[in-house]
Structure 1
Amino acid sequence: MQKRSNIDENTAAAASAKIIEGSVPPTIAVLPFANLSTDQEQEFFADGITEDTISYFSKSKTFPVVSINSVMKYKNSKEATKDIANDLNANYLVQGSIRKGGNKVRISAKLTDALEDTQIWSQTWDRSLDDVFEVQDEVSQKVSALALPAIIANEQNTLNNKDLKIFSAWDEFLHSLNSYDKSGEAKNIEEKIKHVYEAIEHAEKSIALDKNLTDAYNVLASACSFFKIVESSLQHDREKMKQYPESVSEKVIVSESNNPDLVMNMAFLFRISNDETKYKEFVNKAVEINPHHSRSLQAKGMLYLNECDYDNAIDFLNRAHEINPKGVPFYETMLLFCHLGKND
């Protein structure tokens, strides 16, 4: 079994000092949402979505986000987006528009890789304007919830094009993600363990370089969950396996992250340790952090299903599926159980 290496703090500090430019988390700029309606009063609504979206991106702490004051000067600007990105020193641009018709509004948003000038994500929502602030809050959270993983996936895809001899905390984090993804594709348990240890090593290097990069703790929590699952099937190094998840758990809790994925990984650890009280506590915390986070909503829906509260289960499962259809496995089966329970 591959051994984990200990990261020497002096080595990490020296490496951190030599990180080359361009090897840091990319910067996001949310440009002012355009009001495509003839109703000029909707300018306030569009500006509110812009400001709230910036706020939700900032709460994730994964990427630097350009301030509202810096982006508002580009409201109604005809300048090329690539020039705007250069001026703001932004790698990714979020752009959007609103179009009102009667008591309905259509809100569109898209995410662009400014360096490559390619669109990597887009979505449209049709909503009633019965509660303007509720719509504004919902869409702002959904934009950040869907765009953030799209950016990380795009960064993973471009990692191999970097010709680096020294990696930053961000690069190490991306390497840890790639290694963990490989563990899911492995054909046997030994190969899975090998890739998980590689993920751990890169995640720990990332944390040694930047303790505030909480996404690296997310990888550690995922690895911890993996070892909890395979522990009973492993016949060797059992004591180390038992101790490792607890040490990772402590690191994750110390990070005090507002990352819902990280919180959900901790919830899962409690679930497979048969601590249902802590599991529910962490699921509820994840939903509180971001009420539009698909994975958290799905877990909350499953809690309601287990409690035979079928109406709430259906509501949360539908909301999770709407946000991320690919991220809710067995969606139709779970809904079937809900409807069967209601009719029982």
Structure 2
Amino acid sequence: MAEGRVQRRLAAILAADVAGYSRLMGEDEEGTLAALTAHLSEAIEPCIAEHRGRVVKTTGDGLLAEFASVVDAVQCALAFQDAMGKRNGPVPEARRIEFRIGVNLGDVIIQDDDVFGDGVNVAARIEGLARPGGICLSRAARDQVRDRMAIALHDLGEVAVKNITRPVRCFAVGPDTADESASQQAPPPEPAAKTSDKPSVAVLPFDNMSGDPEQDYFADGMSEDIITALSKLRWFFVIARNSTFSYKGKSPDVRQVARELGVRYVLEGSVRKAGNRLRIAAQLIDGETGNHLWAERYDRQVEDIFAVQDEITQRVVGAIEPQLYAAENLRIQSKPPESLDAWGCVIRSLWHLGRFTKGDNEEARQLLRQAVALSPNYAKAHSVLAFAEARMVFFGGDIDTTLSSAREIAQTAVALDDDEPWGYFSVGYIVCFTSRYDEAIAWYRRAIELNENFALAHGNMAAALALGGQPDAAIEAVDLAIRMSPRDPFNYSYLHFAAIAHFAAERYTEGVACEEQALRERPNFTPALRFLAACHAGLGEMEKARSAIAEVLRLTPESSIKRDVYGQVAYAGENDRERYAAALRQVGLPEE
């Protein structure tokens, strides 16, 4: 195989995940970890090997396995769940480790014994549709086994799954699945409040797990601070403290809470203090299905209790904001674009913008124009449209015409609402294209003042810092953006900006690592390929550098030194700019 060429194959992928893992770890971390380790080594991994599969990786609370045959994968899934059922038999129900399993057949990318791509993503997403102890198959997997295995299947219909363009037809395994699924998903009979048109969230009082009543103030403070911080994000509808604190000391079903308060999402958490150690856990839950959308745990030394409270509040809010964007996008994926309201258009556009292709960027522009037409005074629609318009520079748009149009739209957004952080972000993004980096940084900082958890602003400010001669500050901005939003669809771009900073600082090994990670998330991202080539050249790895440039020229034949080093966005420092040009010239990028 030629160096640099992507290796693909068709494979059956089994994804498994522990249901309620955060709760189990919060209640008994050491016991849960020991039990899970024993299940994996004694039952699950041998089962996979017996069915001719291989464990690709474990993920803390789950695993990913690859099979050459779908039949083997499904037989393994059945044996896996049967073994876990037997092992869980003597265990109290509240302490049982139960897995959900998803199986898909699809094309996967192979890299260093790991697997990537939609074939993997679909398996991981549909796993969440299975009941605890259950199995869910994609249509592709179902078609391979329905005439070869005597298993009952319940059609779940077309399901929109995160980061997959089209809905996936899904099937649950088991004769009683339909009844069980219906009973699990059915909302309680209590009267429901009217759900807000905005994305709506309720923050329940955090549980004090310390056994010390004096720690209640800290747990309550965490909840109150998060409510206050979320309330500053003006696209949220956040339930007031007095309503959510009526649940304090209770253990309500989150679906019942969502129904009673009229919200789509519920955030719950816990605080545990032992000596000088503090553990805070939080999880975001879909109020309709009860599925976990995000969960995280934070361990800290209790030195300044209020500093810890502020830090964790920032981390939680910064992490769940993009999760809610993603969840809202999933919710509207099944709707035709013409039926979307202005909010829905903006949310769907952000998903397309995260994919960074010409087609997706054009789709985003169309959706945002629809949003502006539906709601002419909606500042955020104008702001994101300006962002999408400016991005046309990467896809062949004339730089002067494109930026002039984008600047006009961004100025309209700021005039409509001077407290909307997206407007300032978009102006900063546009200014960055003209190499006025100090000005761009000032616009980004204004956006961050209005929303300190705005990961996209922190991440993109890194580009202005890196190109403007502040590489170490750029790395700090990238680290902060990724800590705030570790699963952000724009993380590939932040990693690329980190590589720009590392190249400027002549840290070529670190630059290669950042771009390789960025390219795993966006394999055809040509700016990353160019800096990957430059960093390889800096290390003297000329064949790898030439291979990366060959891929750049295959994807964008118009690439050149004039266009990509001295045009568009360029290093402000002459030394950095000329070193970058020399590296790319040396490995085959044409002058014009």
What is the TM-score with the length of structure 2 in the denominator?
Answer: 0.47
Q: Following the alignment from structure 2 to structure 1, what is the Cα–Cα distance between the partners of residues 394 and 467?
A: 21
Q: Contact 1:97–1:109 at 8 Å: present in 2 too?
A: yes
Partner of 2:274: 101
| Structure 1: stretches of 5+ with no match in the other structure | 1-20
Residues 102-111 or 287-296, more deviating: 287-296
Deviation track 1:60-83 (CA, whole Å, cap 9, x = no partner) reads 111211001111111121222211
1:161 to 1:296, Cα distance in 2 relative to 1, 3 A: closer
SS of residue in 2 equivalent to 1:249: helix
Give the secondary structure class of the aligned counterpart of 1:60: coil
Find the counterpart in structure 1 of residue 300 from structure 2: 127
Deviations 1:150-195 (A, max 9, x none): 112112122133479754332333344455457x334xxxx46642
- Output the CA distance in 1 between the equivalents of 2:476 and 2:217: 30
Which deviates more, 29-38 or 258-267?
A: 258-267
Alignment root-mean-square deviation, CA: 3.2
- Secondary structure at 1:125 match in 2: strand
Shift of residue 264 of structure 1? 2.6
**1:201 corresponds to 2:369:** yes
Distance 1:313 1:113 in 2: 35
CA distance in 2, matches of 1:160, 1:318: 31
Selected match of 1:185 from 354, 357, 367 = 357
Do the aligned residues in 1 keep the contact of 2:232 with 2:451 (CA within 8 Å)?
Answer: no
Q: Deviations over 1:275-328 (max 9, x none)?
A: 333212112223333444433334455555567666655544433333334523
Q: Quick one: distance in 1 between partners of 2:302 and 2:347? A: 40
Residue 284 of structure 1 corresponds to 445
| Residue number among 223, 226, 232 corresponding to 1:59 in the alignment | 232
Change (3 A) 1:60 1:163: same
Following the alignment from structure 1 to structure 2, what is the Cα–Cα distance between the partners of residues 283 and 215?
16
**1:251–1:34 CA distance, 2 compared to 1 (3 A):** same
Pair 135,193 (structure 1): closer, same or farther in 2 beyond 3 Å: closer
Q: Which of 415, 420, 429 is the equivalent residue of 1:268?
A: 429
Question: Could you tell me which amino acid in structure 1 is paired with residue 373 of structure 2?
Answer: K
In structure 2, the residue matched to 1:71 is 244
On the 8 A contact 1:286/1:296 being kept in 2, the answer is: yes
Q: Percent identity, aligned pairs only? A: 24
- Per-residue CA deviations over 1:69-119 (Å, capped at 9, x if unaligned) read 111111121222211111111110011111112222111111111012111
Is 1:112 aligned to residue 285 of structure 2?
Answer: yes
Is the CA contact (8 Å cut-off) linking 1:141 and 1:290 kept in structure 2? no
The change in CA–CA distance for 1:297 and 1:245 in structure 2 (over 3 A counts) is: closer
Distance, in Å, in 1 between the alignment partners of 2:306 and 2:202 is 22
2: CA distance, partners of 1:273 / 1:303: 11
Residue 484 of structure 2: aligned partner: 323
Q: CA deviation at 1:233?
A: 4.4
Deviation at 1:126, TM superposition (A): 1.4
Q: SS of the counterpart of 2:375?
A: helix
Q: Check the 8 A contact 2:269/2:283 in 1, yes or no.
A: yes
Rounded to whole Å, the distance in 2 between the matches of 1:54 and 1:151 is: 15
Q: Which residues of 2 match residues 230-245 of structure 1 at below 5 A?
A: 233=398, 241=402, 243-245=404-406
Shift in Å at residue 339 of structure 1?
8.2
CA distance in 1, matches of 2:496, 2:361: 26
1:219 partnered with 2:356: no
Structure 2 unmatched runs, 5+: 1-193, 509-592
Largest Rg, 1 or 2: 2
Richer in strand (by share)? 2
Match of 2:409 in 1: 248
Higher RCO, 1 or 2 (CA under 8 Å, sep at least 6)? Answer: 1
C-alpha deviation, 1:33, in angstroms: 1.0
Cα displacement (A) at 1:229: 4.8
Contact 2:209 2:271 in 1 (8 A): yes
Give CA deviations for 1:216-271 in whole Å, capped at 9, x if unaligned.
2342121232245557648xxx86x4652232022221243555455333211111
Normalized per residue, the structure richer in helix is 1
How many residue pairs are counted as aligned between the two chains? 309
Distance 1:323 1:181, change over 3 A: closer
Distance 1:37 1:331 in 2: 42
AA in 1 matched with 2:226: T
Q: 1:337 to 1:246 in 2, by over 3 A?
A: closer
- TM-score, structure 1 as length reference: 0.76
CA separation in 2, counterparts of 1:108 and 1:162?
Answer: 34
Partners of 1:23 and 1:167 within 8 A in 2: no
